[in-house]
Amino acid sequence: ETGVTQSPTHLIKTRGQQVTLRCSSQSGHNTVSWYQQALGQGPQFIFQYYREEENGRGNFPPRFSGLQFPNYSSELNVNALELDDSALYLCASSLGQGDEKLFFGSGTQLSVL
């Protein structure tokens, strides 16, 4: 059983650029959630995708957008990067939108200079 994998593991961008982060969900999971974890804080919910549709969104601006593909893998896109976007971005998959257990990837560490 393959776990949740994220790429890249680390990324450095400059302010104003755009970034795409990728996530492959665990086998059999149709729901993917994205979280942002700033230094010293807990993960903060960005949004969730269920069967290719956005199914809930946290308090993040529209420049944070996402996609889910038919194989349930997912992308997180961030436009017009700001310094405060520097964080660990975690992807989590689950068996369904009502499943309590999120299976997290190791994350992508994004640094915005």
Partner 1 sequence: DQQVKQNSPSLSVQEGRISILNCDYTNSMFDYFLWYKKYPAEGPTFLISISSIKDKNEDGRFTVFLNKSAKHLSLHIVPSQPGDSAVYFCAASGSLNYGQNFVFGPGTRLSVLP
| Interface residue list for partner 1 (CB under 8 A) | 4, 31, 33, 35, 40-45, 47-48, 55-58, 90, 92, 94, 97-107
To 5 degrees, how large is the angle CA 75–CA 11–CA 111? 110
Neighbours of 15 (CB within 10 A): 11
Considering the complex, what minimum distance in angstroms separates the CB of residue 46 from partner 1? 10
Considering the complex, what minimum distance in angstroms separates the CB of residue 42 from partner 1? 3
Question: Is the Cβ–Cβ distance between 66 and 77 less than 8 Å?
Answer: yes
Considering the complex, what minimum distance in angstroms separates the CB of residue 41 from partner 1? 5
In three-state form (DSSP H/G/I as H, E/B as E, the rest C), the secondary structure along 3-49 is: CCEEECCEEEECCCCCEEEEEECCCCCCEEEEEEECCCCCCEEEEEE
Shorter beta-carbon distance to partner 1: residue 16 or 61? 61
Shorter beta-carbon distance to partner 1: residue 40 or 70? 40
Considering the complex, what minimum distance in angstroms separates the CB of residue 61 from partner 1? 17
Shorter beta-carbon distance to partner 1: residue 90 or 112? 90
